Each structure stands twice: as structure tokens, then as C-alpha cells.
Structure 1
Amino acid sequence: MSSEKGYGQYCPLAMASEMLGNKWTMLVIRELLDGSNSFNDIARGLPLASRSLLARRLRDLQECGLVEHRAGTRGKSGDYRLTEAGKALSSVVRAMAIWGQEWIDEEPSLKDIDVRFLMWDMRRNVKPASFLPDPFTVQFIFSDAPDGLTDHWLVFESDDVDLCYVDPGREIDVFVETDLRTMTRVWMGWRDLDDAVREGAIDITGREAIVKRSRDWLGLSGLSGISKQPIENRVGGAGST
């Protein structure tokens, strides 16, 4: 729970806010709900959180009864799982994400895009379609990513998808070249993939038959189907008050 003094109210909302209100806490729960159970996988979904802070948040959640740690065997570090109370937060996390997708202006999201989270989110939502070769490797090249983070690889193999930050040494089937803003907008459903390709904002090259069906394996964010409110109704943008 938060180290700050509580609200001093019996209200269940106040009590829940004390338990869940620390920075990164809800995102840790999001990662666990999305299937990240090892410490390293949770950290990959929260690249801007220090490992010491992440460890502290996980301890806090264990003390609250929302997370349990299962010890590993033979030197393995074990993993983290949500308790029944933690799993019950699924609808809360989903509702907050839907509200953010619908009501918050997209510009704040596009100011400081972390390519590591973008690729991690893509890795868990892409579609290992049956028409793809096995293995199937895609190289993403971001023209505006920081040095050392311009290239990422997704390797589809046996119904699993792995994200690589260094060249996996595989034959590349498809290359995707773009910038972070464009890829994020397409991924979140704020810009149509075909329009971005047609306008030259995304260049997809490689095996022709697979390139033509990029929409079928690339997929979109799980929130992409939630439409934005008209711009005058949105919050968080430059024009909001």
C-alpha cells in the first residue's frame, strides 16, 4: 500500500485507491493479467521502471494479498501470479484502459514513445496465422528510435512469438520500416494500416504473398476497436482545460 498517509475514510473507493494508487502498481497488474509471470517478463513490459522499484511494487502487492510468488525449483527464480482478488481487477483495468483510449487525446501518448514497450505489446498481440511459414521472422526498423533501439525482431515459431533486441540470426521474411509515431498510431487504431502503407509512412517488404496479408498477422492493439471521442470532447490534449 502507499507509504503516504491514507485518506482516513471507510469508503471502499478510498481504501482501494490507497492500495492501488502508487505509480506503476496498476501497470504491474496489467502485465500480470496479460500473461507476464516472470520478473523479467514483467520488467520488459515496464521498461522505464527500475528493477528495484518493480521488486518493491511486487512486494507491496503480495502484502496486500493481490499477488503471490511461487518459488522456483533447481535455481529458477519462480514466478508471480494474481490471487483471486487480483484477478478480479481485470474488469477495472479494462475499464480504465477503455476510458483512456476513448477520452484521452492521442497527442500526449505520442510525445515520448518507448519503443521497447511498443514492441512488447505488439509481441503479445500479433497473430501467428496458419499461412505463415514456420519459423517466420519480421524485422522492424524505426527511423527515429534511440541509438541501439532502431531494430527489433519478432520470431514466430510453433505458435509462439519471441521478441529479440539483437539479430537472432534468422532469415528475414518481412521487413517493416517506419517511425515510432506512425507505428503507434496504426497499432492503436488511430490510423489505418493500408493508408499508412499507401502514403509511404510504412514500408513493408519481403515475401510478396505475406506482405499482401500483413493485416492478418500483424494485428492491432486489443483497444484498437475503441473509437476516440470527437477532439473537442477529449481530455489531456493541448487544448483541454
Structure 2
Amino acid sequence: MSGVRSYGDPCGVARGLDAIGERWAMLVVRDLLLGPKRFNDLLGGLPGVSPNVLSQRLRELTEHGVVRRRDLGPPTRVHLYELTDWGRALEPILLELGRWGSQAPPVREGALGVDSLLLSIKTAFDPAPTAELRGVYEFRVDADTYLVEVADDSVAIRRDTAQGQPDATLTTDIDTLRAVCGHQVTLAAALDSGTLRLGGDEDAKRRLTDLLLAPFGPAPQSAP
């Protein structure tokens, strides 16, 4: 692992930071939690990182066994980056870090990507009330489809499509999704404008939207 710095400390925390402690490394892992991505997709989801720095982080994470590159081969010649089993084991750590970090003062610049918005569902997951949200849902955001499966005590989210008919579907673009989750646009207004569409029966659509909006709290009340 030439060029990769080490704390030289046998403690498990230090050894973990040897693997994922460089700037951008944890955000690369975050953006791979829902499934493999191409280099340009990762670059688009991390607008503050340069191509050279992203290449370096991917190389380091691969050397440490956190990420692997999968070549799809001809005729596509597409290279995908995905988490190894060891890398996927970081998910509960990242979700807990997200809960902790959400208490920090908000930043004025930057915008949540679709992965971060959907991971917020997992971060806020509470098995008690969420038992009422059981179902299989598809979130179709721009060109990507995300499969969300809610059981009695768990929620699973990945870039995928349902094997059969999902209970409900949501189709929109990232700007609209971000605006609805951020309470800048009401769900009703997005539906009326056609920038967001829901499919499924009324109960399933309600469960889907409750699941999506739960991490972001109720809309702020306007002044009387």
C-alpha cells in the first residue's frame, strides 16, 4: 500500500481510520451503500471532490479491502465500484454518525443527494411506528430506481427494481424530491404540477409518502 499513510497505532480505532480516515473516504462509502456506481456517478454525487482526489480515494479504499472494482467487460466496458463485505459492515457506523451529525449546526451551502435523502429513511428508522409502513416501494428518481422494502423491524434500500409489482411507486427528479423533503414545496403542489407522480392504491401511496417524509419532520407552520 505505497503512499497510504498510517497512524502506526495498533488500536482498532486507529487501524480503522487508516482505512477510511482520509478526507472524502467515508462519503465515498456512503454513496456506495445503496449499490454499485460508476466513477462518473460517484463524481456527480460528490460535487466538491476533484477527479484526481476521487481516483486516489478509490484506489486507497480498494487497497484496504473496503471497495472493489468490477469490470462488466465488452461490449459495455463499464467499471463499477462496490463495497466489499467488510465495507458494507460500515453501514450501521455511518447511520449512527448521521444521527450524531444531524445535531450539528446546518451548513448553508451544498444540497443533499438522492443517496443521502434515502439513507435518511434508514437513519430515522424506528421499528415501533414503522411497522405500519410495511410494503415494497419503488422510488424512481431521474434515471435511477431504488427499491425500498419495509418489514416489521427493518428497512432495506438499494438501487434495484421490484421482482413483481411494488405496492406503490414514486417518480420524480432530484430537485423536486429535495424540495419536498426540505418543505420548500408541498407534496400536494408537486403532485398538482406533475413534477412528482405516485402509483398504487391510496393506502400504499400514503405509506410510501409517510416513510419518505418521516425523517424530515412536519412542515414548519406559517406565521398567523
What TM-score results when the alignment is normalised by the length of structure 2?
Answer: 0.56
Amino acid at match of 1:13: V
Q: 1:220 aligns with which of 189, 212, 218?
A: 212
Q: 2:109 aligns with which of 112, 116, 124?
A: 112
Which residue number in structure 2 is paired with residue 205 of structure 1? 192
Give the 5 Å matches for 1:8-157.
Answer: 8-75=8-75, 76-101=77-102, 103-105=103-105, 107-108=106-107, 111-114=108-111, 117-119=112-114, 121=116, 128=138
- Quick one: distance in 2 between partners of 1:4 and 1:31? 22
> Mind listing any 5+ residue stretches in structure 2 that lack a counterpart?
122-136, 146-159, 162-170, 219-224
| Aligned residues of 1:45 and 1:121 also touching (Cα < 8 A) | no
Which residue number in structure 2 is paired with residue 185 of structure 1? 182
Structure number with larger C-alpha Rg: 1
What TM-score results when the alignment is normalised by the length of structure 1?
Answer: 0.53
SS of the equivalent of 2:182 reads helix
Alpha-carbon shift at residue 64 of structure 1 (Å) = 0.6
Amino acid at match of 1:91: P
- Quick one: distance in 2 between partners of 1:2 and 1:96? 29
Amino acid at match of 1:94: L
Higher relative contact order (CA 8 A, sep 6+): 1
Give the 5 Å matches for 1:169-180.
Answer: none
SS of the equivalent of 2:18 reads helix
RMSD over aligned Cα atoms: 4.6
Number of equivalenced pairs: 175
For residues 206-231 of structure 1, what are the alpha-carbon distances to aligned partners after superposition, in whole Å with 9 as ceiling and x for unaligned? 36x96xx786665637x81799xxxx
Q: Give the fraction of aligned pairs with identical amino acids, expressed as a percent.
A: 26
